């Protein structure tokens, strides 16, 4: 038998690894450390292939209703095990595709975070408190969050090839835990890593007897096909992490037909450093700010991109202290796109009146690098062009705003767009509390997570996390993309059962608590007891 040569890496549709019909149109990933294209070619899937994934996903959604949640949990755990079994290979390829360090980043930090998320999702799928089973015994009404009835499409970002990966990251784990199949659209920056992770998912699907369309993978489509995908009648919902431009295009398509779409887009994560804190620990805060800014070469959604201080000699010294740290050699960016989006953003900031303190240019050399860049602007200037001066620069770029007094700082706070986070640094003895009380309440409503005396990078996978916030940070202020079980709620539909005969109720709503440990709201009280 003669084998047809594989033109491009296979896609996974309906439980089959198959050659894409889009093989003639392909792309390759690029090693950003050497600017060298990698050998593997990945297909751009035509619409017919996307449609096939939708059909298989819809079938899997129906089949999943009959799959015991313990089995689904076993799949998620086996998936995590499989990733660990290939941890070195995965981390090595992710490094080549993204330029992120194997250590301390990919191998011993991001990969364990990824498998931990999958195991937390498994625990949630097994225990099921997340579905908020609610029972009104008097009226014969019972409700819970059930699956969406169609596959969830996941678009992962370029900056976390594992923990936010389309197939194995937080959105995928949450969508699966809620009982939905997923269609992963690989980030084109790390298609090989995504394929390795999908192989682990596929092996786990087979080992645990999951429906064949539970996890599917395509690498790329046209923008038009992407818009059709998220707005297709068979789709349950979409999870997207990436740029504001791409996100808004998908959002428009999904919104038009009322398909839920959860987006995590852009955020400058303002940090307010109040005068007492600068008196007390200027150098330490400068250290923290630079460390947080430069983590992952500034390519974090939670990178502090905007610092607000009161103008004073001390805050001028703070700017200088930060400037000194920004002189450090820059890290490698995820790809060439980063270079021009950063260049573009810095240009926009300068055009809007920001003064360049340090950096501001691409660094020539064998890898993609942009000089660490610090800018400053007066409060007055900021208020003249607040939108332009909140342009996100996805790299080690930060803007310091000098407010001339507290009312101006409050005015700046009022003009902030929706952000994932905001931080306040204040003196430990409470001398900043009056300013805090005047500014923090304004900021509170504009962000998902409010920090005290800490930088925003480092997003703990906790039930009390909010990796979310008002638009344009995300598409809805009520949901988080990180933290189990809260992130799962995005992928549930509210199902009420009105006088439904008891043997027809899902296990979660029957009189007997199906796990013995599941929390349910019975007649107004949270309990793990059975009904009656």
- Minimum distance from CB of 332 to its own copies (Å)? 29
Q: Are 176 and 121 in contact (CB under 8 A)?
A: yes
Strand 373-378 and strand 355-358: the pairing is antiparallel
Q: Which of 264, 288, 392, 508 is catalytic?
A: 264
Neighbours of 364 (CB within 10 A): 6
> First and final CA of the chain: distance in angstroms?
66
- Minimum distance from CB of 191 to its own copies (Å)? 30
- Minimum distance from CB of 45 to its own copies (Å)? 25
Q: Which of 301, 392, 417, 508 is catalytic?
A: 301
Q: Which is nearer to its own copies, 40 or 453 (CB)?
A: 453
Q: Which is nearer to its own copies, 28 or 442 (CB)?
A: 442
Element (H, E) at 42: strand 42-43
CA dist 268 and 29 (Å) reads 28
CA dist 85 and 214 (Å) reads 21
Strand 30-31 and strand 36-37: the pairing is antiparallel
Residue 301 among the catalytic residues: yes
Q: Are 457 and 295 in contact (CB under 8 A)?
A: yes
- Minimum distance from CB of 386 to its own copies (Å)? 11
Q: Which is nearer to its own copies, 149 or 335 (CB)?
A: 149
- Minimum distance from CB of 173 to its own copies (Å)? 18
Q: Are 394 and 294 in contact (CB under 8 A)?
A: no
- Minimum distance from CB of 320 to its own copies (Å)? 28
Residue 131 among the catalytic residues: no
Q: Compute the Cα dihedral for 63, 66, 69, 75 and give only its sign.
A: negative
Q: Which is nearer to its own copies, 275 or 492 (CB)?
A: 492
Q: Which is nearer to its own copies, 28 or 454 (CB)?
A: 454
CA dist 232 and 456 (Å) reads 36
CA dist 185 and 191 (Å) reads 9
CA dist 479 and 145 (Å) reads 15
Q: Are 190 and 161 in contact (CB under 8 A)?
A: yes
Q: Which is nearer to its own copies, 1 or 525 (CB)?
A: 525
Please identify every residue annotated as catalytic.
264, 301
């Amino acid at each position: 038998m003669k084998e047809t040569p594989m033109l491009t890496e296979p896609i996974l549709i309906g439980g089959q690894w198959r050659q894409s019909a889009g093989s003639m149109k392909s792309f390759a990933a690029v090693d950003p450390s050497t600017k060298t294209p990698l050998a593997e070619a990945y297909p751009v899937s035509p619409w017919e292939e996307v449609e096939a994934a939708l059909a298989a996903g819809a079938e899997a959604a129906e089949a999943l209703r009959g799959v015991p949640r313990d089995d689904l949990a076993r799949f998620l755990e086996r998936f995590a095990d499989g990733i660990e079994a290939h941890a070195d290979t995965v981390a090595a390829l992710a490094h080549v595709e993204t330029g992120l360090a194997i250590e301390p980043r990919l191998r011993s930090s991001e990969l364990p975070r990824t498998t931990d998320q999958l195991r937390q999702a498994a625990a949630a799928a097994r225990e099921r408190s997340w579905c908020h089973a609610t029972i009104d015994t008097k009226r014969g009404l019972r409700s819970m969050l059930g699956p969406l009835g169609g596959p969830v499409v996941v678009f992962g970002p370029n900056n976390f090839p594992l923990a936010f990966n389309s197939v194995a990251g937080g959105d995928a784990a949450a969508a699966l835990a809620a009982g939905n199949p997923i269609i992963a659209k690989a980030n084109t920056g790390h298609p090989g890593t995504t394929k390795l992770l999908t192989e682990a998912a596929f092996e786990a699907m087979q080992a645990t007897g999951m429906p064949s369309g539970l996890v599917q993978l395509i690498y790329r489509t046209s923008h038009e096909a992407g818009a059709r995908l998220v707005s297709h009648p068979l789709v349950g919902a979409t999870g997207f992490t990436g740029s504001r431009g791409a996100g808004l295009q998908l959002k428009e398509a999904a919104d038009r037909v009322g398909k839920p779409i959860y987006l995590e887009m852009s955020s400058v994560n303002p940090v307010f450093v109040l005068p007492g804190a600068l008196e007390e620990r200027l150098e330490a805060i400068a250290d923290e700010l630079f460390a947080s800014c430069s983590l992952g070469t500034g390519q974090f959604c939670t990178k502090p991109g905007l610092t607000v201080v009161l103008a004073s000699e001390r805050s001028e010294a703070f700017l200088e202290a930060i400037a000194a740290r920004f002189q450090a050699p820059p890290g490698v960016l995820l790809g060439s796109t980063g270079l021009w989006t950063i260049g573009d953003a810095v240009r926009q900031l300068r055009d809007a009146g920001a003064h360049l303190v340090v950096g501001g240019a691409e660094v020539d050399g064998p890898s993609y690098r942009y000089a660490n860049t610090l800018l400053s602007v007066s409060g007055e200037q900021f208020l003249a062009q607040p939108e332009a001066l909140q342009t996100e620069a996805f790299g080690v770029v930060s803007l310091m705003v000098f407010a001339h007094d507290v009312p101006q700082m409050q005015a700046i706070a009022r003009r902030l767009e929706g952000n994932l986070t905001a931080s306040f640094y204040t003196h430990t003895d409470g001398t900043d509390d009056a300013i805090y009380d005047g500014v923090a309440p304004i900021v509170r409503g504009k962000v998902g997570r409010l920090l005290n005396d800490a930088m925003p990078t480092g997003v703990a996978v906790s039930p009390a996390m909010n990796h979310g916030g008002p638009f344009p940070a995300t598409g809805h202020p009520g949901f988080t993309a990180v933290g189990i079980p809260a992130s799962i709620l995005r992928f549930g539909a509210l199902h009420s059962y009105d006088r439904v005969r008891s043997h027809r109720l899902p296990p979660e709503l029957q009189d007997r608590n199906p796990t013995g440990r599941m929390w349910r709201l019975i007649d107004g009280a949270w309990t793990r007891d059975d009904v009656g």
